[in-house]
Amino acid sequence: MDELATYIAAREKDMLKLLEHLVNTDCGTYVKAGVDRVGDILAERLESLEFKVERSRQKQYGDHVIGHKPGTGMHRILFIGHMDTVFAEGTAKKRPFRMEGGRAYGPGVSDMKGGIVALLYALEALKEEAAQVYNRIVMDVVFNSDEEILSPTSRPIIEALARKAHTVCVFEPARPGGEYVIQRKGVGKYTMTISGRAAHAGAQPEQGRSAIEALARKTVALHALTDLAEGTTVNVGLIRGGERSNVVAESAYAEIDVRVPDAAAAARLDEQIHRIAGIPHVPDTTCRLTGGVLFPPMQQTPQMKRLFEAVQDAGRSIGIELRGIATGGGSDGNHAAQFAPTLDGMGPQGSGAHSDREQMVISTLTERSKVTALFLSKWPEVVGKIV
């Protein structure tokens, strides 16, 4: 439908203006007031698109914005985007939105303000230019406020809506090469706390039980679990221990990141980590292990494959050949994919997330919005391919 692409192309300046407004609003996960300001802007947009908007009130984080639009059809689609960034308050003032050389820069410009803007204008185009289809689709939207800290309060909301959905679209940025995300590894975090016995390192070392030595031996054993061919990785990324060099360390602590390709690998790795934690590498020391897999793997299913093929068809209709990629990073798509076919990376092409180099390819803001609108316009055909 050429009118959808034309509608979005004509509104590029408006899209960039909204993006600038969002990027220039500090909304790190713990900047509640800023996240709520972003939430107010997005709630108003959703209401203009005929969504009934509710807020899940939060004390520590911003309020989650949840929209629902009824439809005359039976099939339901869930859209997900997060409002929070990793940046501290004041970052937007130091590094405000700017455009240079065909790229836009600023905190959260691609992760994931750009994706939210692309979604909103895709829905607007569909409402104005393909009202019959728009009115048919039952839609839910979640704009959550805590994704950057693994969605502790929004995960139940996302999972509950994903259980009802036939399709889920997540507007994290497309990869640096422009790829959509068709598969994600599971992500886990564990902590180990080792308790030993302090002693004078020179006068009575034999009376000590070094927690650092125990942790060091466990670290070597944990890293040996990495299997690059399988796609499993274990990384002890943070350690603390001891008080001073002339004291046998009484305590030590580690944080461990794990990535797994599938549920079977997650279960196997969890068992191995617990086994290592239980080994007394240094006599009379103890180990307390906490944590587990927090983001289950987003594994590609035949239904997800057909979903991406439908999006590729939408891209071809405007002369774009879209590619998919598997990635080791987690997102809310991992949670949603446990219940419904899910496609991630539907936002504009970006790179440098979580850094002062974060950027978005400007031309892909309208491009990915067009693809989403065209994909949705073929909804009856899409449903036939996916279900």
Residue 43 has pLDDT above 80, yes or no: yes
pLDDT at residue 21, rounded to an integer = 99
51 and 145 share one domain: yes
Do 312 and 261 belong together in one domain? Answer: no
Structure confidence at residue 387 (pLDDT): 61
Name the pLDDT band for 354 (thresholds 50, 70, 90). very high
- CB-based contacts of 211: which residues, under 8 Å, 6+ apart? 194, 195, 196, 241, 242, 249, 250, 251, 252, 282, 285
pLDDT of residue 381: 74
The per-residue pLDDT for 288 is 99
Q: Alpha-carbon torsion 352, 85, 253, 328, what sign?
A: negative
Q: Give the domain range for residue 130.
A: 2-184+298-386
Categorize the per-residue pLDDT at 386 as very low, low, confident or very high, splitting at 50, 70 and 90. Answer: low
- Domain match, 160 and 16 both: yes
CATH of the domain at 63: 3.40.630.10
Q: Which two tokens stand for residue 303?
A: 């239904």
Same domain flag for 234 and 330: no
Q: Residue range 4-11: average pLDDT?
A: 98
| Confidence tier at 123 by pLDDT (50, 70, 90) | very high
Strand-pair partners of 65? 55, 143
Tokens at residue 109, please? Answer: 């410009």
Tell the residue number behind the tokens 């960039």, with chain if given: 16
360: tokens are 């978005």
- Are residues 22 and 169 part of one domain? yes
Res 105: pLDDT: 99
Task: Reply yes or no on whether the pLDDT at 385 is more than 90.
Answer: no
Question: With pLDDT > 70 as the criterion, what percentage of the chain qualifies?
Answer: 98
Q: Which of 272, 295, 318 is the last residue of a domain?
A: 295
What pLDDT, in 10s, does the model give residues 295-326?
999 999 999 999 999 999 999 999 999 999 99
- Residues shown for the chain: 387
Q: Tell me, what's the pLDDT at 190?
A: 98
pLDDT at 379: 77
Reading the block at residue 187, the tokens are 């992500």
Domain final position from 295, 315, 331? 295
Q: Is the dihedral of CA 243, 249, 251, 256 positive or negative?
A: positive
